Amino acid sequence: MSARILVVDDVEANVRLLEAKLTAEYYEVLTAPDGPTALAVAAAEKPDIVLLDVMMPGMDGFSVCRRLKDDPATRHVPVVLVTALDGRADRVAGLEAGADDFLTKPIDDVMLFARVRSLTRLKAVIDELRQREASGRRMGVIAGAASRLGGAGGRILIVDDYERQGQRLCAELSIEHRPVLESDPHKALLSARGPVDLVIVNAAAKAFDGLRFAAQLRSDQVTRNLPILALVDFDERPRLIKALEIGVNDLLSRPVDPGELSARAKTQIRRKRYTDYLRNNLDHSLELAVTDQLTGLHNRRYMAGQLEALLQRAAMGGEPVAVLAIDIDHFKKINDSFGHDVGDEVLREFAVRLASNVRAVDLPVRYGGEEFVVVMPDTHLEDAERIAERIRLHVAGSPFRIMDGQELLSVTISIGVAASLGGESRPEPLLKRADAAMYEAKASGRNRVIAGAA
């Protein structure tokens, strides 16, 4: 697959060398001698990849990268920083500026072309989605909300048989994300079919072949588009190249640097959410996006597909799936007394409390209005009931700060709990039982949890 590549370097000999190498592989090459020229060329020519030198007079590579990523017209273009620097602080600074990867001088030709091919495939997918989305934007049904899709709060599946390393990764990532550690690759493949934003796999695992696991994710229609970050030993050059060839999105050297891990995870999650956003808005309005715009939780449409997949897995002999149906008590009174702005404050604060009181494997969703749902994979009814009670106590036990923190408001919730039955593969009966239990909780006095009958 060919591509247009913009090479940016203030040293003409470096530019000519890269231009010759890339041209020999049938890439179209654009060049720029400095940062301002690079920004102008990128805006006018729309390259597929930017190879950007870091050390340039005036505007350095970090600044150019940041400007490219801040511009809606170029933020989707992959940027590879080319540098003689190999320090941890420089890598993290580049990643935080939006860089997709690094190449260290002198450039290894094989790694150069492997990385270019990998990023070209990614860019082609995003370009196709952007072109199809443009029709919706012209009709006025899409208004640029993709810029609000951040890289925090991701659901990360870590696949690693080295327990100490896996636990360290979980501890680092749990600061901003919701990681889950799985040492069994077969169970991990099933988990990856659920609501996951990023898979981190140890390519040097002893008990299984990490690259084969990545290849299996890429061959499955459900997990084909999941971003994969592979932990690798950079001394094993053939495995690095093979990882990129089979579709691994990014590489992280061991031992893992926490700052670099955080930056690379954010980059992959942000890009995944962006591509999800594009896919879900091809022919419809923003209601098809994967997240609720007010609360940041996943929305009802996204939940339906995830819940159905989990129920089908349970029907084939897996663990049951539980659902919590949650309603904020007397929410209409809050809106009537304080106004809809305060009502929105309550919804946002409740969403934060809900997400922080469920497990990493659970899927909290804004179902509509003041109603929320939590999908709980591999969960029996009594376990779901205990978690529901924990959520209820946390909400009722601490007033909500409203009106920019000037006032306190006591809020309670009613929760209905239901779990899937053997062979049940459709979401509707399960949701109906949870909903009925929730209404029973409200009819019984509110601020309580009731488990629905089978």
Please identify every residue annotated as catalytic.
370
Query: Bridge-partner residues for 298, per DSSP?
Result: 291, 365
Output DSSP code: residue 286: G
Tokens linked to 337: 């007394």
Residue pair 402/342 in contact by the 8 Å Cβ criterion: yes
Are the beta carbons of 94 and 65 closer than 8 angstroms?
yes
How far is 241 from 235, CA to CA, in rounded Å?
A: 11
**Sole residue written with tokens 């990545």:** 214
The two three-digit tokens of residue 447, written as one number = 């601020």
Other CB atoms within a 10 A radius of the CB of residue 278 amount to 22
d(CA 415, CA 434): 8
The structure tokens listed for 234 are 């950079």
Residues sharing a CB contact under 8 Å with residue 45, sequence separation 6 or more, in sequence order: 4, 6, 30
Residues in the chain: 454
- Strand pairing of 178-182 and 228-232? unpaired
Q: Residue 291 and residue 366: Cα distance in Å, rounded?
A: 9
Q: How many CA atoms lie within 13 A of 123 on its CB side?
A: 23
Give me the DSSP letters along 63-113: HHHHHHHHSTTTTTS-EEEEES---HHHHHHHHHTT--EEEESSPPHHHHH
| Amino acid residing at 34 | D
Q: Is 275 exposed, middle or buried (0-12, 13-18, 19+ CB in 10 A)?
A: buried
Q: How far is CA 186 from CA 138, 180, 213, 230, in A?
A: 44, 15, 9, 17
Measured between alpha carbons, how far is 140 from 317 in angstroms, rounded to an integer? 46
Q: Which residues contact 72 (CB under 8 A, 6 or more apart)?
A: 144, 147
CA distances from 24 to 36, 98, 110, 425 (A): 28, 29, 13, 54
State the CB neighbour count (10 A cutoff) for residue 247. Answer: 19
Antiparallel, parallel or unpaired: β 79-83 and 413-419: unpaired
